[in-house]
Every structure is written in C-alpha cells, then in structure tokens.
C-alpha cells in the first residue's frame, strides 16, 4: 500500500527518523490499514484499494449417502 504523510509524524516501523509532510512511502497492506485507522488525519492513501477477492468455490465433494435402513420400531 502506498501512503503519503500529510503532517510530521514518527513511525519507527516505516523510517528511523520522522516522516515529513509530503513524504511518500510504501508499507504492507496490514500496516497501512492500521496507520489509516489510527491516524486518518495524518496519512493519505495514494494507490487504489485492491478489489475484494472472489470467494473460492466450494469443493465438489460427494456427500455421504444417508443410511437407507429404517430404524427398528420399538413396538412388536
């Protein structure tokens, strides 16, 4: 994820010194979402969010057959 700092801030996971306003940098999607959640007024996202991945189709596995035998009745 590509972000830009809008104000001066120090994030040691990104850079050892302070991020200056206008500084552009790239971080992982997880860290970028955390930074945007905690400091929305300080960071701006520059790249477009990725489209949500389509859910994987369910595996086509044959179901177990039902037991065809009828239960024995208690009455005789």
pLDDT in tens, 5-41: 999 999 888 888 899 999 999 999 899 999 999 999 9
As given in the structure block, the two tokens for residue 58 are 């369910």
Q: Are 29 and 65 in contact (CB under 8 A)?
A: no
Confidence of residue 61 (pLDDT cuts 50, 70, 90): confident
**pTM (global) more than 0.85:** no
């Amino acid at each position: 994820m590509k972000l830009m700092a809008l104000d001066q801030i120090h994030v040691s996971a990104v850079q050892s010194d302070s991020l200056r306003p206008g500084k552009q940098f790239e971080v992982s999607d997880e860290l970028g979402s955390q930074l945007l959640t905690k400091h929305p007024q300080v960071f701006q996202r520059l790249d477009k969010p990725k489209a949500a991945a389509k859910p994987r189709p369910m595996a086509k596995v044959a179901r177990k057959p039902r037991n065809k035998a009828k239960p024995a009745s208690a009455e005789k």
